[in-house]
Structure 1
């Protein structure tokens, strides 16, 4: 998969793709999530850092926070991204996907005990708890704060790249509403809803998206 690039979600690493059809794709590691050459924890700046490194005519795949970042990259480097696949995306995490009170409670939980907060979050996702030790607390927390307050609305109107949006019917992290609102504002996009899949299990359905 020489021309396929992936961006994982928050609190995970590129290892999340290991058991999927994308195991041999080119995996981008987020700052604070394992070994990453990228420094910025501001989504706009990070999208510019990554976008400059990408070749042309790629398929770019982002999951969760990675979907927001992939959208930003495609909006700023449309000549490089031939196809965009967004898995469990949201137009704006707060308040569309999660109410403000829930987000602030979770940020407080992270401040009190970072790795306990990560464990709690991964359980909500329906994911395994491996490789938590690869996370770097300060950068991971800063990246999350940039994400939860960020809106894609200004970047998806007249969107130049063909996009597939995929979401699990039982996703209780970014959710159906977040994905639908993004689809509703993003022209040139297609929405696919997978029954019985949650925020994490949807990754096993990637073979139907490529």
Structure 2
């Protein structure tokens, strides 16, 4: 029996962004997209928003030996689940995602001031903050405007995210460091990246390969942070080979 594929979305998004991928893979692969708790109308765990509490809610939905595909923030959830619920996860596919998103002296990533600005903006206008984040995700893509329009349309098919989840998700992107777990994982981990991604630079991908020699990375030359939207055919062709 084929392992179930589970799709995890990114910050500010919901499971609807995976609609095209689900439709393409469903005829041959058991597949489902799930909302990260607090997004798309799915309630978050009680108390402060944390990766640990909300990953537990996702773990309860997983079949044994699932293949997790995590985009951006969803990749952190996928890596955490693989490390802490090993019977539930047989493979992790990271899409434009790293084990640590925040730039450090020894680690390429998103400048802390960018994440701080998002946190400040979120307190006054969450809708505008998500729009700005969408624009950054599409930056570099040949058809950025169309990519943003498509993501917004998919996003709008489900309820808005909880304020707690938006703020907590940003905090996870800023501070959650899973490089230790990533380096120790023995299961297959494969990455699909966009060379033009301003949030996940290629230098970070090289650092990941140094951390875990088993990690295999594929880069789409003209894609940015949402390759499954901007370069759907190339992305799906690759995904079908590695899933």
Instruction: Choose the corresponding residue for 2:220, options 183, 194, 205.
Output: 194
Structure 1 19/117 Cα, relative in aligned 2: closer, same or farther at 3 Å? Answer: same
The alpha-carbon deviation at position 147 of structure 1 amounts to 2.4
Mean alpha-carbon deviation: is it higher for 167-176 or for 21-30?
21-30
Deviation string, structure 1 residues 140-174 (Cα, Å, up to 9, x no partner): 21122122211111212221211111110011122
Match of 1:171 among 197, 200, 205: 197
1:98-118, Cα deviation, whole Å (9 max, x unpaired):
111221122112122111111
| Aligned equivalent of 1:63 | 71
**How do 1:23-62 and structure 2 match up within 5 A?**
24=26, 25-39=31-45, 41-62=49-70
* Whole-Å separation in 1 of the counterparts to 2:189 and 2:81: 13
Separation in 2 of the partners of 1:28 and 1:164?
Answer: 20
Q: Compared with structure 1, are the counterparts of its residues 37 and 102 closer, same or farther at alpha carbon in structure 2 (3 Å cutoff)?
A: closer
Once the two structures are TM-superposed, the CA of residue 4 in structure 1 deviates from its matched residue by 0.8
3-state secondary structure, aligned to 2:20: coil
Deviation of the 1:12 alpha carbon: 0.8
Q: Residue 44 of structure 1: SS of its match in structure 2?
A: helix
CA RMSD of aligned residues (A): 2.1
Change (3 A) 1:68 1:106: same
Residue 70 to residue 190, structure 1, CA distance change in 2 (3 Å): same
Give the aligned partner of residue 119 of structure 2.
Answer: 107
- Who wins on radius of gyration, i.e. which is larger? 2
Deviations 1:15-59 (A, max 9, x none): 101122566421110122112254263112322332243111221
Task: Count how many residue pairs are aligned between Structure 1 and Structure 2.
Answer: 210
Report what 1:135 is aligned to. Answer: 161
Q: Deviations over 1:56-114 (max 9, x none)?
A: 12211100000111011011122221221111112311113111122112211212211
Distance of 2:36 and 2:210 partners within structure 1: 28
* Structure 1 unaligned residues grouped into runs of 5+: none
Aligned twin of 1:17: 18
TM-score (normalised: structure 1): 0.89
Residues in 2 aligned to 1:106 and 1:83: alpha-carbon distance in whole angstroms: 32
